[in-house]
Amino acid sequence: MHRLILMRHAKTERTAVSGLDRDRALTPRGLDDGILMGRVLADKGLRPDLALVSPAVRTRQSWDAVHEAMGDVEVRIEPRLYDASTHTIRQLVQDAEEQAGCLLVMAHNPGVHTLALEYLTESAASPSILDRMAGGFPTGAAAVFEVDVAGRCAYDGFLTPKAFGGGADE
């Protein structure tokens, strides 16, 4: 793997009809932001070979929206990504290292945000990058990392829907 994209699902409704968190769906803005972020990633040449996606409705819908701009991508719905800890996400990334040149993980906060911060700290990212990421990981955002031959992740960008004309950061 030479590139890793950690992505948070897009904007969702506050509650689901079922009352279950994993059943919450995207809002119209969330759908628009997902489509936007798919185009942004594709335009930047950030097309994954493999996407690991949480089974929650909002992450599957977010992936479907992003995927429209990506073309052919192997997708795995990964049950362990729902409400996953950084340790779990990191293990899933390590397990997929040999399976993709570019891996996208579509999951939830706080796991995605905290893991991005861990990778930044481990790679001795600049204080300005750490400050920017510490400010939050909004819905629909993607943290992009270059991965070296030893599996170390180095910051390559932080993309948010708001930066490209989409919804407000939150």
Q: Is the pLDDT of residue 116 over 90?
A: yes
Q: Is residue 42 part of a domain?
A: yes
Predicted pLDDT of residue 5: 98
Is 24 in a helix, a strand, or coil? coil
**Residue range(s) defining the domain that contains residue 87:** 3-164
Q: Determine, yes or no, domain membership for 103.
A: yes
In whole angstroms, how far apart are CA 151 and each of 1, 86, 94?
A: 8, 16, 8
Identify whether the C-beta of residue 85 lies closer than 8 Å to the C-beta of residue 57. Answer: no
- Is 145 part of any domain? yes
Domain contains 170: no
Section 78-93 average pLDDT? 97
The answer to whether residue 84 sits within a structural domain is: yes
Residue 98: which pLDDT band, with cuts at 50, 70 and 90? very high
Q: Give the tokens for residue 116.
A: 């991005």
Query: Is 31 among the domain residues?
Result: yes
Does residue 9 belong to any structural domain of this protein?
yes
**170: confidence class by pLDDT, cuts 50, 70, 90:** low
- CA 148, 103, 122: angle at the middle one, nearest 5? 40
Instruction: Confirm whether 75 is domain-assigned.
Output: yes
Number of domains in the chain: 1
The token pair that represents 109 in the structure block = 């906060």
Residue 167 banded pLDDT, cuts 50, 70, 90: confident
- CATH of residue 48: 3.40.50.1240
